[in-house]
Structure 1
Protein backbone atom coordinates (compact mmCIF):
# COMPACT_ATOMS: atom_id res chain seq x y z
CA UNK A 1 0.00 0.00 0.00
CA UNK A 2 2.88 2.37 0.74
CA UNK A 3 4.96 1.37 -2.27
CA UNK A 4 5.08 3.92 -5.07
CA UNK A 5 4.09 2.51 -8.45
CA UNK A 6 6.76 2.79 -11.15
CA UNK A 7 6.27 2.53 -14.89
CA UNK A 8 8.28 -0.27 -16.43
CA UNK A 9 8.51 1.16 -19.94
CA UNK A 10 7.31 3.96 -22.19
CA UNK A 11 4.11 2.16 -23.19
CA UNK A 12 3.24 1.57 -19.55
CA UNK A 13 3.74 5.30 -18.86
CA UNK A 14 1.39 6.21 -21.73
CA UNK A 15 -1.38 3.97 -20.41
CA UNK A 16 -0.89 5.29 -16.88
CA UNK A 17 -1.20 8.88 -18.09
CA UNK A 18 -4.29 8.12 -20.18
CA UNK A 19 -5.85 6.38 -17.18
CA UNK A 20 -5.19 9.44 -15.01
CA UNK A 21 -6.68 11.75 -17.66
CA UNK A 22 -9.78 9.57 -17.90
CA UNK A 23 -10.43 9.52 -14.16
CA UNK A 24 -9.71 13.24 -13.80
CA UNK A 25 -12.11 13.98 -16.68
CA UNK A 26 -14.84 12.00 -14.93
CA UNK A 27 -14.06 13.84 -11.71
CA UNK A 28 -14.40 17.20 -13.48
CA UNK A 29 -17.74 16.16 -14.98
CA UNK A 30 -19.06 15.12 -11.56
CA UNK A 31 -17.46 17.97 -9.63
CA UNK A 32 -19.92 20.73 -10.58
CA UNK A 33 -23.05 18.57 -10.34
CA UNK A 34 -23.47 15.58 -8.05
CA UNK A 35 -25.84 14.06 -10.59
CA UNK A 36 -24.24 13.58 -14.04
CA UNK A 37 -27.61 13.63 -15.81
CA UNK A 38 -28.58 16.93 -14.20
CA UNK A 39 -25.24 18.42 -15.22
CA UNK A 40 -25.84 17.41 -18.83
CA UNK A 41 -29.40 18.77 -18.74
CA UNK A 42 -28.08 22.07 -17.39
CA UNK A 43 -25.58 22.32 -20.26
CA UNK A 44 -28.34 21.53 -22.79
CA UNK A 45 -30.66 24.10 -21.22
CA UNK A 46 -27.92 26.74 -21.23
CA UNK A 47 -27.29 26.26 -24.95
CA UNK A 48 -31.01 26.11 -25.77
CA UNK A 49 -31.65 29.37 -23.86
CA UNK A 50 -28.80 31.00 -25.74
CA UNK A 51 -30.28 29.93 -29.10
CA UNK A 52 -33.80 30.97 -28.04
CA UNK A 53 -32.64 34.39 -26.88
CA UNK A 54 -30.92 35.23 -30.16
CA UNK A 55 -33.83 33.82 -32.19
CA UNK A 56 -36.25 36.04 -30.25
CA UNK A 57 -33.94 39.02 -30.70
CA UNK A 58 -33.82 38.50 -34.46
CA UNK A 59 -37.59 38.09 -34.68
CA UNK A 60 -38.11 41.33 -32.73
CA UNK A 61 -35.74 43.17 -35.05
CA UNK A 62 -37.65 41.74 -38.00
CA UNK A 63 -35.12 39.26 -39.36
CA UNK A 64 -37.02 36.01 -39.88
CA UNK A 65 -34.90 34.25 -42.46
CA UNK A 66 -31.30 33.09 -42.55
CA UNK A 67 -28.69 35.28 -44.28
CA UNK A 68 -27.57 32.00 -45.84
CA UNK A 69 -30.03 30.03 -47.92
CA UNK A 70 -30.84 27.40 -45.36
CA UNK A 71 -32.43 26.85 -41.96
CA UNK A 72 -32.30 29.98 -39.78
CA UNK A 73 -32.13 28.13 -36.45
CA UNK A 74 -29.38 25.87 -37.77
CA UNK A 75 -27.49 28.98 -38.87
CA UNK A 76 -27.64 30.35 -35.32
CA UNK A 77 -26.82 27.05 -33.65
CA UNK A 78 -23.71 26.59 -35.80
CA UNK A 79 -22.19 29.79 -34.42
CA UNK A 80 -23.40 29.35 -30.85
CA UNK A 81 -22.09 25.79 -30.51
CA UNK A 82 -18.58 26.76 -31.61
CA UNK A 83 -18.59 29.95 -29.54
CA UNK A 84 -19.71 28.26 -26.32
CA UNK A 85 -17.30 25.36 -26.75
CA UNK A 86 -14.39 27.75 -27.32
CA UNK A 87 -15.03 30.17 -24.46
CA UNK A 88 -15.96 27.47 -21.94
CA UNK A 89 -12.79 25.56 -22.81
CA UNK A 90 -10.79 28.74 -22.21
CA UNK A 91 -12.48 29.25 -18.83
CA UNK A 92 -12.06 25.65 -17.65
CA UNK A 93 -8.46 25.24 -18.83
CA UNK A 94 -7.40 28.58 -17.35
CA UNK A 95 -8.54 27.46 -13.91
CA UNK A 96 -7.62 23.79 -14.16
CA UNK A 97 -4.28 23.76 -12.36
CA UNK A 98 -2.69 25.44 -9.38
CA UNK A 99 0.35 24.35 -7.40
CA UNK A 100 -1.64 24.95 -4.22
CA UNK A 101 -4.58 22.82 -5.31
CA UNK A 102 -5.40 19.68 -3.38
CA UNK A 103 -5.17 17.30 -6.34
CA UNK A 104 -1.83 18.76 -7.44
CA UNK A 105 -0.25 17.48 -4.21
CA UNK A 106 -0.79 13.85 -5.17
CA UNK A 107 2.23 12.22 -6.78
CA UNK A 108 0.77 10.86 -10.03
CA UNK A 109 -1.05 14.09 -10.86
CA UNK A 110 0.60 16.84 -12.88
CA UNK A 111 -0.34 19.96 -14.82
CA UNK A 112 -0.63 18.17 -18.19
CA UNK A 113 -3.13 15.63 -16.84
CA UNK A 114 -5.33 18.26 -15.18
CA UNK A 115 -5.29 20.59 -18.22
CA UNK A 116 -6.12 17.74 -20.62
CA UNK A 117 -8.91 16.50 -18.36
CA UNK A 118 -10.47 19.96 -18.09
CA UNK A 119 -10.44 20.38 -21.87
CA UNK A 120 -11.90 16.91 -22.52
CA UNK A 121 -14.67 17.44 -19.97
CA UNK A 122 -15.84 20.57 -21.82
CA UNK A 123 -15.63 18.79 -25.18
CA UNK A 124 -17.70 15.88 -23.87
CA UNK A 125 -20.40 18.13 -22.43
CA UNK A 126 -20.65 20.41 -25.44
CA UNK A 127 -20.64 17.62 -28.04
CA UNK A 128 -23.26 15.64 -26.16
CA UNK A 129 -25.48 18.69 -25.65
CA UNK A 130 -25.10 19.61 -29.33
CA UNK A 131 -26.09 16.11 -30.44
CA UNK A 132 -29.15 16.16 -28.16
CA UNK A 133 -30.30 19.61 -29.29
CA UNK A 134 -29.78 18.86 -32.99
CA UNK A 135 -31.51 15.49 -32.58
CA UNK A 136 -34.54 17.03 -30.90
CA UNK A 137 -34.71 19.77 -33.52
CA UNK A 138 -34.44 17.17 -36.30
CA UNK A 139 -37.20 14.98 -34.84
CA UNK A 140 -39.59 17.60 -33.45
CA UNK A 141 -39.28 20.58 -35.82
CA UNK A 142 -37.76 19.88 -39.22
CA UNK A 143 -35.24 17.44 -40.70
CA UNK A 144 -31.73 18.83 -41.02
CA UNK A 145 -28.86 17.82 -43.28
CA UNK A 146 -25.12 18.53 -43.26
CA UNK A 147 -23.41 19.32 -46.54
CA UNK A 148 -20.12 17.73 -45.40
CA UNK A 149 -20.27 16.39 -41.86
CA UNK A 150 -16.55 15.41 -41.49
CA UNK A 151 -15.61 19.00 -42.33
CA UNK A 152 -18.12 20.34 -39.78
CA UNK A 153 -16.69 18.07 -37.10
CA UNK A 154 -13.09 18.98 -37.94
CA UNK A 155 -13.78 22.72 -37.78
CA UNK A 156 -15.73 22.29 -34.53
CA UNK A 157 -12.72 20.49 -33.02
CA UNK A 158 -10.49 23.29 -34.31
CA UNK A 159 -12.55 25.78 -32.29
CA UNK A 160 -12.17 23.57 -29.22
CA UNK A 161 -8.42 23.24 -29.83
CA UNK A 162 -8.18 27.03 -30.00
CA UNK A 163 -9.87 27.27 -26.61
CA UNK A 164 -7.27 24.87 -25.18
CA UNK A 165 -4.43 26.99 -26.59
CA UNK A 166 -5.78 30.29 -25.23
CA UNK A 167 -6.61 28.68 -21.89
CA UNK A 168 -3.05 27.36 -21.71
CA UNK A 169 -1.74 30.93 -21.86
CA UNK A 170 -4.07 32.02 -19.07
CA UNK A 171 -3.24 29.05 -16.82
CA UNK A 172 0.46 29.86 -17.25
CA UNK A 173 -0.10 33.51 -16.29
CA UNK A 174 -2.35 32.70 -13.33
CA UNK A 175 0.46 32.04 -10.78
CA UNK A 176 1.98 35.44 -11.56
CA UNK A 177 -1.24 37.50 -11.50
CA UNK A 178 -4.27 35.42 -10.44
CA UNK A 179 -6.81 38.25 -10.14
CA UNK A 180 -5.80 39.87 -13.42
CA UNK A 181 -6.08 36.55 -15.26
CA UNK A 182 -9.64 36.10 -14.00
CA UNK A 183 -10.54 39.53 -15.41
CA UNK A 184 -8.71 38.81 -18.68
CA UNK A 185 -10.61 35.56 -19.11
CA UNK A 186 -13.96 37.30 -18.67
CA UNK A 187 -12.94 40.10 -21.05
CA UNK A 188 -11.92 37.52 -23.66
CA UNK A 189 -15.30 35.83 -23.37
CA UNK A 190 -17.23 39.11 -23.62
CA UNK A 191 -15.22 40.34 -26.60
CA UNK A 192 -15.91 37.12 -28.47
CA UNK A 193 -19.64 37.59 -27.95
CA UNK A 194 -19.37 40.06 -30.85
CA UNK A 195 -15.93 39.47 -32.39
CA UNK A 196 -16.62 35.78 -33.09
CA UNK A 197 -19.16 36.84 -35.71
CA UNK A 198 -21.53 34.05 -34.81
CA UNK A 199 -24.53 36.17 -35.82
CA UNK A 200 -22.97 37.55 -39.01
CA UNK A 201 -22.06 36.19 -42.43
CA UNK A 202 -18.51 37.07 -43.43
CA UNK A 203 -19.31 37.20 -47.14
CA UNK A 204 -21.96 39.87 -46.57
CA UNK A 205 -19.79 42.17 -44.42
CA UNK A 206 -18.54 45.37 -46.11
CA UNK A 207 -14.79 45.56 -46.60
CA UNK A 208 -14.43 48.50 -44.19
CA UNK A 209 -16.10 46.43 -41.41
CA UNK A 210 -14.26 43.16 -42.07
CA UNK A 211 -10.97 44.15 -40.29
CA UNK A 212 -12.91 44.47 -37.03
CA UNK A 213 -13.53 40.71 -37.15
CA UNK A 214 -10.91 39.14 -39.43
CA UNK A 215 -8.16 39.40 -36.77
CA UNK A 216 -10.04 36.89 -34.63
CA UNK A 217 -9.32 33.22 -35.51
CA UNK A 218 -12.67 32.20 -33.98
CA UNK A 219 -14.40 34.35 -36.62
CA UNK A 220 -12.68 32.28 -39.32
CA UNK A 221 -13.64 29.03 -37.56
CA UNK A 222 -17.34 29.94 -37.35
CA UNK A 223 -17.51 31.04 -40.98
CA UNK A 224 -15.65 27.98 -42.25
CA UNK A 225 -17.99 25.71 -40.29
CA UNK A 226 -20.95 27.22 -42.11
CA UNK A 227 -19.22 26.55 -45.41
CA UNK A 228 -19.23 22.83 -44.62
CA UNK A 229 -22.71 22.97 -43.12
CA UNK A 230 -24.66 24.70 -45.91
CA UNK A 231 -24.47 23.57 -49.53
CA UNK A 232 -25.29 27.10 -50.78
CA UNK A 233 -22.54 28.91 -48.89
CA UNK A 234 -18.86 29.15 -49.82
CA UNK A 235 -16.64 31.23 -47.47
CA UNK A 236 -14.69 33.81 -49.46
CA UNK A 237 -13.28 36.13 -46.78
CA UNK A 238 -12.07 33.62 -44.19
CA UNK A 239 -9.49 30.83 -44.14
CA UNK A 240 -9.17 28.01 -41.62
CA UNK A 241 -5.40 27.90 -42.22
CA UNK A 242 -5.18 31.32 -40.55
CA UNK A 243 -6.94 29.95 -37.45
CA UNK A 244 -4.68 26.89 -37.37
CA UNK A 245 -1.46 28.90 -37.49
CA UNK A 246 -2.66 31.45 -34.93
CA UNK A 247 -3.72 28.70 -32.53
CA UNK A 248 -0.38 26.91 -32.96
CA UNK A 249 1.45 30.17 -32.24
CA UNK A 250 -0.67 30.75 -29.13
CA UNK A 251 0.02 27.14 -28.07
CA UNK A 252 3.79 27.68 -28.30
CA UNK A 253 3.53 30.88 -26.24
CA UNK A 254 1.37 29.08 -23.68
CA UNK A 255 3.87 26.23 -23.36
CA UNK A 256 6.76 28.65 -22.84
CA UNK A 257 4.85 30.55 -20.16
CA UNK A 258 3.87 27.31 -18.42
CA UNK A 259 7.42 25.96 -18.42
CA UNK A 260 8.64 29.18 -16.79
CA UNK A 261 5.76 29.23 -14.29
CA UNK A 262 6.26 25.58 -13.22
CA UNK A 263 9.98 26.28 -12.68
CA UNK A 264 9.51 29.21 -10.29
CA UNK A 265 5.99 28.71 -8.88
CA UNK A 266 5.86 28.26 -5.12
CA UNK A 267 3.19 27.53 -2.55
CA UNK A 268 4.21 30.71 -0.73
CA UNK A 269 2.87 32.82 -3.63
CA UNK A 270 -0.68 32.17 -2.49
CA UNK A 271 -0.06 32.93 1.17
CA UNK A 272 -1.36 36.48 0.94
CA UNK A 273 -4.43 35.64 -1.16
Structure 2
Protein backbone atom coordinates (compact mmCIF):
# COMPACT_ATOMS: atom_id res chain seq x y z
CA UNK A 1 0.00 0.00 0.00
CA UNK A 2 2.85 2.38 0.79
CA UNK A 3 4.51 1.63 -2.55
CA UNK A 4 1.22 2.20 -4.39
CA UNK A 5 0.77 5.52 -2.59
CA UNK A 6 4.24 6.71 -3.61
CA UNK A 7 3.64 5.55 -7.20
CA UNK A 8 0.39 7.51 -7.35
CA UNK A 9 2.02 10.63 -5.89
CA UNK A 10 4.86 10.35 -8.41
CA UNK A 11 2.36 10.08 -11.28
CA UNK A 12 0.47 13.13 -10.01
CA UNK A 13 3.72 15.09 -9.72
CA UNK A 14 4.88 14.27 -13.26
CA UNK A 15 1.47 14.96 -14.78
CA UNK A 16 1.29 18.25 -12.87
CA UNK A 17 4.63 19.30 -14.35
CA UNK A 18 3.39 18.18 -17.78
CA UNK A 19 0.28 20.36 -17.37
CA UNK A 20 2.41 23.34 -16.35
CA UNK A 21 4.53 22.93 -19.49
CA UNK A 22 1.63 22.09 -21.81
CA UNK A 23 0.84 25.63 -22.93
CA UNK A 24 4.43 26.91 -22.79
CA UNK A 25 7.63 24.90 -23.27
CA UNK A 26 9.15 26.95 -20.46
CA UNK A 27 7.29 26.63 -17.15
CA UNK A 28 8.47 30.12 -16.12
CA UNK A 29 6.89 31.60 -19.25
CA UNK A 30 3.60 29.95 -18.33
CA UNK A 31 3.72 31.46 -14.84
CA UNK A 32 4.52 34.89 -16.31
CA UNK A 33 1.49 34.63 -18.60
CA UNK A 34 -0.71 33.80 -15.60
CA UNK A 35 0.62 36.86 -13.76
CA UNK A 36 0.05 39.02 -16.85
CA UNK A 37 -3.57 37.83 -17.17
CA UNK A 38 -4.23 38.72 -13.53
CA UNK A 39 -2.59 42.12 -13.94
CA UNK A 40 -4.66 42.84 -17.06
CA UNK A 41 -7.89 41.98 -15.26
CA UNK A 42 -6.94 44.10 -12.23
CA UNK A 43 -6.05 47.04 -14.50
CA UNK A 44 -9.27 46.57 -16.47
CA UNK A 45 -11.46 46.67 -13.37
CA UNK A 46 -9.53 49.64 -11.98
CA UNK A 47 -10.17 51.56 -15.20
CA UNK A 48 -13.81 50.49 -15.18
CA UNK A 49 -14.31 51.77 -11.63
CA UNK A 50 -12.46 54.98 -12.53
CA UNK A 51 -14.72 55.57 -15.54
CA UNK A 52 -17.89 55.20 -13.47
CA UNK A 53 -16.47 57.58 -10.90
CA UNK A 54 -15.50 55.11 -8.16
CA UNK A 55 -11.93 56.00 -7.23
CA UNK A 56 -11.90 54.81 -3.64
CA UNK A 57 -12.71 51.51 -2.01
CA UNK A 58 -16.29 51.04 -0.77
CA UNK A 59 -14.57 49.54 2.28
CA UNK A 60 -12.21 51.40 4.58
CA UNK A 61 -8.94 50.22 3.08
CA UNK A 62 -6.81 50.00 -0.05
CA UNK A 63 -8.84 50.16 -3.27
CA UNK A 64 -6.44 47.85 -5.16
CA UNK A 65 -6.62 45.24 -2.40
CA UNK A 66 -10.41 45.41 -2.67
CA UNK A 67 -10.16 44.69 -6.41
CA UNK A 68 -7.56 41.95 -6.00
CA UNK A 69 -9.60 40.18 -3.32
CA UNK A 70 -12.28 39.55 -5.94
CA UNK A 71 -10.05 38.98 -8.97
CA UNK A 72 -7.84 36.31 -7.38
CA UNK A 73 -10.80 34.27 -6.14
CA UNK A 74 -12.66 34.64 -9.43
CA UNK A 75 -9.68 33.61 -11.56
CA UNK A 76 -8.79 30.66 -9.33
CA UNK A 77 -12.39 29.40 -9.36
CA UNK A 78 -12.78 29.69 -13.13
CA UNK A 79 -9.33 28.27 -13.88
CA UNK A 80 -10.09 25.23 -11.71
CA UNK A 81 -13.38 24.67 -13.56
CA UNK A 82 -11.67 24.80 -16.94
CA UNK A 83 -8.75 22.59 -15.90
CA UNK A 84 -10.81 19.82 -14.31
CA UNK A 85 -13.54 19.90 -16.97
CA UNK A 86 -10.94 19.21 -19.67
CA UNK A 87 -8.98 16.53 -17.79
CA UNK A 88 -9.33 12.80 -17.31
CA UNK A 89 -11.83 11.93 -20.03
CA UNK A 90 -12.37 8.14 -20.27
CA UNK A 91 -11.49 8.32 -23.98
CA UNK A 92 -8.28 10.32 -23.47
CA UNK A 93 -5.27 8.54 -25.11
CA UNK A 94 -3.33 8.95 -21.85
CA UNK A 95 -5.79 6.55 -20.25
CA UNK A 96 -4.35 3.76 -22.40
CA UNK A 97 -1.30 3.65 -20.13
CA UNK A 98 -1.70 1.25 -17.24
CA UNK A 99 -0.61 3.39 -14.26
CA UNK A 100 -2.70 6.38 -15.37
CA UNK A 101 -6.27 6.69 -14.13
CA UNK A 102 -8.91 9.38 -14.07
CA UNK A 103 -8.25 10.44 -10.48
CA UNK A 104 -4.55 11.03 -11.19
CA UNK A 105 -5.26 13.19 -14.23
CA UNK A 106 -7.90 15.24 -12.41
CA UNK A 107 -5.61 15.77 -9.40
CA UNK A 108 -2.70 16.81 -11.64
CA UNK A 109 -4.78 19.36 -13.56
CA UNK A 110 -6.24 20.79 -10.36
CA UNK A 111 -2.85 21.08 -8.62
CA UNK A 112 -1.27 22.75 -11.65
CA UNK A 113 -4.02 25.38 -11.53
CA UNK A 114 -3.59 25.97 -7.80
CA UNK A 115 0.19 26.31 -8.24
CA UNK A 116 -0.20 28.89 -11.02
CA UNK A 117 -2.77 30.97 -9.17
CA UNK A 118 -0.87 30.88 -5.89
CA UNK A 119 2.37 32.03 -7.49
CA UNK A 120 0.51 34.71 -9.44
CA UNK A 121 -1.14 36.10 -6.29
CA UNK A 122 2.15 36.08 -4.35
CA UNK A 123 4.06 37.85 -7.15
CA UNK A 124 1.42 40.56 -7.66
CA UNK A 125 0.90 41.22 -3.94
CA UNK A 126 4.67 41.33 -3.32
CA UNK A 127 5.25 43.73 -6.21
CA UNK A 128 2.46 46.02 -5.02
CA UNK A 129 3.67 45.87 -1.40
CA UNK A 130 7.36 46.56 -2.07
CA UNK A 131 7.20 48.79 -5.16
CA UNK A 132 3.97 50.81 -4.97
CA UNK A 133 2.82 51.00 -1.35
CA UNK A 134 2.73 48.68 1.68
CA UNK A 135 -0.45 46.70 2.20
CA UNK A 136 -1.85 45.09 5.31
CA UNK A 137 -4.07 42.03 5.32
CA UNK A 138 -5.80 41.47 8.63
CA UNK A 139 -5.52 37.68 8.27
CA UNK A 140 -3.38 36.67 5.29
CA UNK A 141 -3.58 32.96 6.19
CA UNK A 142 -7.38 32.97 6.16
CA UNK A 143 -7.34 34.88 2.86
CA UNK A 144 -5.31 32.05 1.37
CA UNK A 145 -7.73 29.55 2.92
CA UNK A 146 -10.49 31.32 0.99
CA UNK A 147 -8.39 30.94 -2.17
CA UNK A 148 -8.26 27.20 -1.44
CA UNK A 149 -12.05 27.16 -1.04
CA UNK A 150 -12.48 28.97 -4.36
CA UNK A 151 -10.17 26.41 -5.98
CA UNK A 152 -11.95 23.44 -4.42
CA UNK A 153 -15.41 24.69 -5.41
CA UNK A 154 -14.17 25.21 -8.97
CA UNK A 155 -12.72 21.70 -9.04
CA UNK A 156 -16.04 20.18 -7.89
CA UNK A 157 -18.05 22.10 -10.50
CA UNK A 158 -15.50 21.16 -13.15
CA UNK A 159 -15.86 17.51 -12.14
CA UNK A 160 -19.58 17.67 -12.98
CA UNK A 161 -18.83 19.16 -16.40
CA UNK A 162 -16.16 16.49 -16.90
CA UNK A 163 -18.69 13.72 -16.21
CA UNK A 164 -21.14 15.31 -18.63
CA UNK A 165 -18.61 15.89 -21.42
CA UNK A 166 -18.39 12.31 -22.86
CA UNK A 167 -22.16 12.28 -23.46
CA UNK A 168 -22.29 15.68 -25.18
CA UNK A 169 -18.82 17.23 -25.68
CA UNK A 170 -19.93 20.46 -27.37
CA UNK A 171 -22.76 21.03 -24.93
CA UNK A 172 -20.51 20.51 -21.91
CA UNK A 173 -17.98 22.98 -23.30
CA UNK A 174 -20.66 25.59 -23.98
CA UNK A 175 -22.23 25.17 -20.52
CA UNK A 176 -18.82 25.39 -18.84
CA UNK A 177 -17.97 28.59 -20.73
CA UNK A 178 -21.42 30.03 -19.97
CA UNK A 179 -21.04 29.37 -16.24
CA UNK A 180 -17.58 30.94 -16.17
CA UNK A 181 -18.81 34.04 -18.02
CA UNK A 182 -21.85 34.25 -15.76
CA UNK A 183 -19.51 34.42 -12.77
CA UNK A 184 -18.24 37.75 -14.08
CA UNK A 185 -21.42 39.24 -12.60
CA UNK A 186 -22.82 36.75 -10.10
CA UNK A 187 -19.55 36.21 -8.24
CA UNK A 188 -20.12 39.61 -6.62
CA UNK A 189 -16.52 40.70 -7.05
CA UNK A 190 -17.66 44.17 -8.13
CA UNK A 191 -20.04 44.66 -5.18
CA UNK A 192 -19.96 44.76 -1.40
CA UNK A 193 -22.41 42.21 -0.01
CA UNK A 194 -23.22 44.31 3.08
CA UNK A 195 -24.33 47.20 0.84
CA UNK A 196 -26.61 45.12 -1.39
CA UNK A 197 -30.38 45.58 -1.04
CA UNK A 198 -32.30 42.64 0.41
CA UNK A 199 -34.32 42.20 -2.79
CA UNK A 200 -31.15 41.76 -4.87
CA UNK A 201 -29.25 39.52 -2.46
CA UNK A 202 -30.91 36.17 -3.45
CA UNK A 203 -29.73 36.73 -7.03
CA UNK A 204 -26.14 36.32 -5.83
CA UNK A 205 -26.47 34.26 -2.65
CA UNK A 206 -26.83 30.91 -4.51
CA UNK A 207 -23.25 31.20 -5.77
CA UNK A 208 -20.59 29.81 -3.38
CA UNK A 209 -18.00 32.11 -4.99
CA UNK A 210 -20.06 35.12 -3.87
CA UNK A 211 -19.76 33.98 -0.25
CA UNK A 212 -16.05 33.19 -0.63
CA UNK A 213 -15.21 36.63 -2.04
CA UNK A 214 -17.20 38.44 0.65
CA UNK A 215 -15.62 36.39 3.43
CA UNK A 216 -12.18 37.08 1.93
CA UNK A 217 -12.80 40.80 2.25
CA UNK A 218 -13.81 40.25 5.86
CA UNK A 219 -10.43 38.62 6.52
CA UNK A 220 -8.50 41.21 4.48
CA UNK A 221 -10.02 44.40 5.95
CA UNK A 222 -10.15 44.98 9.70
CA UNK A 223 -13.16 47.31 9.40
CA UNK A 224 -15.38 44.95 7.38
CA UNK A 225 -17.57 42.27 8.96
CA UNK A 226 -19.58 40.22 6.41
CA UNK A 227 -23.28 40.03 7.31
CA UNK A 228 -24.87 38.81 4.08
CA UNK A 229 -22.59 35.85 3.39
CA UNK A 230 -21.70 32.63 5.14
CA UNK A 231 -18.42 30.78 5.58
CA UNK A 232 -20.07 27.37 6.00
CA UNK A 233 -22.27 27.60 2.88
CA UNK A 234 -19.34 27.14 0.40
CA UNK A 235 -18.14 24.14 2.44
CA UNK A 236 -21.53 22.45 2.17
CA UNK A 237 -21.65 23.28 -1.54
CA UNK A 238 -18.20 21.76 -2.06
CA UNK A 239 -19.18 18.54 -0.27
CA UNK A 240 -22.47 18.24 -2.18
CA UNK A 241 -20.98 19.04 -5.59
CA UNK A 242 -18.06 16.71 -4.92
CA UNK A 243 -20.37 13.78 -4.18
CA UNK A 244 -22.52 14.49 -7.25
CA UNK A 245 -19.43 14.87 -9.43
CA UNK A 246 -17.86 11.62 -8.21
CA UNK A 247 -21.05 9.64 -8.82
CA UNK A 248 -21.61 11.19 -12.26
CA UNK A 249 -17.98 10.61 -13.27
CA UNK A 250 -18.17 6.99 -12.13
CA UNK A 251 -21.28 6.38 -14.27
CA UNK A 252 -19.69 8.09 -17.29
CA UNK A 253 -16.41 6.17 -16.94
CA UNK A 254 -18.23 2.84 -16.76
CA UNK A 255 -20.60 3.62 -19.62
CA UNK A 256 -18.49 5.41 -22.23
CA UNK A 257 -16.11 3.60 -24.57
CA UNK A 258 -13.85 4.62 -27.43
CA UNK A 259 -15.99 2.68 -29.93
CA UNK A 260 -19.09 4.60 -28.79
CA UNK A 261 -17.38 7.93 -29.37
CA UNK A 262 -16.05 6.73 -32.76
CA UNK A 263 -19.58 5.83 -33.79
CA UNK A 264 -20.63 9.43 -33.29
Q: Distance in 2 between matches of 1:100 and 1:197?
A: 37
Q: 2:236 aligns with which of 215, 240, 245?
A: 245
Does structure 1 residue 202 correspond to structure 2 residue 193? yes
Q: Which runs of 4+ in 1 moved over 2 A?
A: none
* 1:107-256 to 2 correspondences below 5 Å: 107-256=98-247
Q: Distance in 1 between matches of 2:195 and 2:89?
A: 44
Q: 2:75 aligns with which of 69, 84, 104?
A: 84
Q: Distance in 2 between matches of 1:60 and 1:149?
A: 30
List alignment gaps of at least 5 residues for structure 2: none
For structure 1, which segment, 95-104 or 29-38, has the greater mean C-alpha deviation from structure 2 after superposition?
Answer: 95-104
Q: 1:101 aligns with which of 92, 104, 112?
A: 92
Q: Tell me how far 1:211 sits from its aligned partner.
A: 0.8
SS at match of 1:271: helix
Q: Tell me how far 1:150 sits from its aligned partner.
A: 1.9
User: What is the TM-score of this pair, normalised by structure 2?
Assistant: 0.98
Q: 2:33 aligns with which of 42, 60, 64?
A: 42
Q: Tell me how far 1:100 sits from its aligned partner.
A: 2.5
Q: How many residues align?
A: 264
SS at match of 2:24: coil
CA-based RMSD: 0.9
Q: Distance in 1 between matches of 2:69 and 2:87?
A: 27
State the match for 1:22 in structure 2.
13
State the match for 2:47 in structure 1.
56
For structure 1, which segment, 119-128 or 94-103, has the greater mean C-alpha deviation from structure 2 after superposition?
Answer: 94-103
1:42-93: CA deviation from partner (whole Å, max 9, x where unpaired) = 1110000000001001111110000110000110001000000001100110
1:77-122: CA deviation from partner (whole Å, max 9, x where unpaired) = 0100000000110011000122222211110000000000000000
Q: Tell me how far 1:272 sits from its aligned partner.
A: 4.7
Q: Distance in 2 between matches of 1:79 and 1:156?
A: 10
User: What is the TM-score of this pair, normalised by structure 1?
Assistant: 0.95
Q: Distance in 2 between matches of 1:149 and 1:207?
A: 30
Q: Tell me how far 1:270 sits from its aligned partner.
A: 2.2
Q: Distance in 2 between matches of 1:83 and 1:222?
A: 8
Q: Distance in 1 between matches of 2:142 and 2:126?
A: 19
